[in-house]
Chain A
């Protein structure tokens, strides 16, 4: 019994030493935040680690608010966010791409286009049936993101003109969940990043006749888009800055995951 315990302690000691030396030898980068940016960062991390075997990158979601909080608390190296962080002057904003957000509805709804005004009425619960906006007689089920969501912030800013969305809607806490609930719930409407909506079995409506495509965002016709930010505590250095540059310059990867290169944009905004 005693010998077993000693053996266990010895093994434990070895494993601690082993893991600590391993982490000394490698550079490790921890990233968390926006679930909209997540697919791109994940793919980029995979590609980067293949090219640089001594770098270990851990990527997780949690939402834009989490990303900003965690990097401001120095708990992680990079905080991903769909929105700027005006209350955190100590954070360095590294823009890596542009993402569009689609208004998504359940395929049972026949509506293909909504005006900005109609969207405002739906999300403030002034309009509650699809027949009030040109659809068939079917209740509208509004699905929101949590209060701290970057996607919700972008939607509120670009569509709601700053007016608060009605709290009577359901709330789902990640891009993936929102898309699957919209897909399964007749009459449902929500908003999510292109990277999570394209080809996922939900309908994406046009806004004021403009379809949610990359081209319409590049030309400035489609209003719901934002820069994707990778915040670092102070200016990024070393491997971290190389990884951020790797994403930003990687046209193939950025486009494959449904994002837009910043240099392609014909319009720009300072507060997104």
Chain B
């Protein structure tokens, strides 16, 4: 009887372990397949269509009809909306993070935390929709921009969308600090503000860097919400309120009609590959920041 039990539990054990291995293995397989597929398709622009990598990265002329898919406009577009978003959303998010971990009374945290979680759960199409119906008309009536679509609209929508990421991660960064350093600072007679700026902020800096980098990663990858408000014009934005396009928005705008095997399709795959590479670089940065802390 006992022997039977033992054998059965051993079998369960083996089965469970092999299932876990299978799950982990398939994640690795999926990642590798994705990477190789994108590498394969995304480099066709360069070895099938013979378009130089250098021109793809730096030429501002995106004209598929002339066999010239320069992606500089989209790369600059992605970088500028991302910078816009992180400049607005970054400090704001960190400020809320400090507030939540150091200042807010328990009751308030209990209200704020679920509110922030809801912000994460709102689908990006809803953010885009709100941007389109509220923000774009607002910009149109209050600036010289005739349409309201453009960099600023996209940047503001993105800034709001990255807030939950930045807030949550920076709050964690502060909470994970040893309580002794805060208590020590206060005991030495520092005010709360002095403690925050001179002790807590510097000690949490690597955690805050991670918060900002993951915020940037979120901003770079966002597609639908900004496609609805950025204007999708293949040109460098001449100002904060001018329409432009980003890598993700260009892919989603032209992807449905890109014929299989066409230069347009290859160029869009190259942009997708570029986005993947950017994401990988950012993750490496996160690793680096975390190692520094440890």
Q: Which residues does A use to contact B, with CB under 8 Å?
A: 62-66, 68-69, 72-73, 87, 138-141, 146-149, 164, 167-173, 184-188
B62 engages A167 (CB within 8 Å): yes
Supposing A69-B260, A148-B264, A171-B233 touch, asked if A185 and B140 sit within 8 A by C-beta, the answer is yes
Supposing A141-B146, A164-B63, A170-B147 touch, asked if A184 and B233 sit within 8 A by C-beta, the answer is no
Docked CA distance A245–B140 (Å): 48
A168 engages B259 (CB within 8 Å): no
Give chain A nearest CB distance to B45 CB in angstroms: 16
Q: Which residues does B use to contact A, with CB under 8 Å?
A: 62-65, 137, 140, 146-149, 231-235, 243, 245, 253-254, 256-260, 264
Give chain A nearest CB distance to B232 CB in angstroms: 4
Docked CA distance A168–B150 (Å): 12
A168 engages B235 (CB within 8 Å): yes
Give chain A nearest CB distance to B172 CB in angstroms: 35
A146 engages B259 (CB within 8 Å): no
Residue of A nearest to B259 (CB): A69
A147 engages B148 (CB within 8 Å): no
Docked CA distance A68–B259 (Å): 8
- Majority SS at the chain A contact face: loop
Residue of A nearest to B146 (CB): A139
Q: Contacting B233 at CB < 8 Å: which of A63, A66, A87, A170?
A: A170
Supposing A170-B243, A185-B148, A188-B147 touch, asked if A147 and B232 sit within 8 A by C-beta, the answer is no
Q: Contacting B231 at CB < 8 Å: which of A65, A147, A171?
A: A171
The 3 closest A-B pairs by CB, nearest first: A148-B257, A65-B257, A171-B232
Docked CA distance A164–B235 (Å): 15
B259 engages A87 (CB within 8 Å): yes
Collect the chain B residues with CB atoms within 8 Å of residue A141's CB.
146-147
Collect the chain A residues with CB atoms within 8 Å of residue B147's CB.
141, 170, 185, 187-188
Residue of B nearest to A187 (CB): B146
B257 engages A64 (CB within 8 Å): yes
Residue of A nearest to B149 (CB): A170
Docked CA distance A33–B231 (Å): 23
Give chain B nearest CB distance to A132 CB in angstroms: 15
Residue of A nearest to B61 (CB): A167
B254 engages A148 (CB within 8 Å): yes
Residue of B nearest to A174 (CB): B256
B62, B64, B140, B231, most chain A CB atoms within 10 A: B231
Collect the chain B residues with CB atoms within 8 Å of residue A138's CB.
146
A169 engages B258 (CB within 8 Å): no
Collect the chain A residues with CB atoms within 8 Å of residue B253's CB.
146, 171, 173
Residue of A nearest to B150 (CB): A170
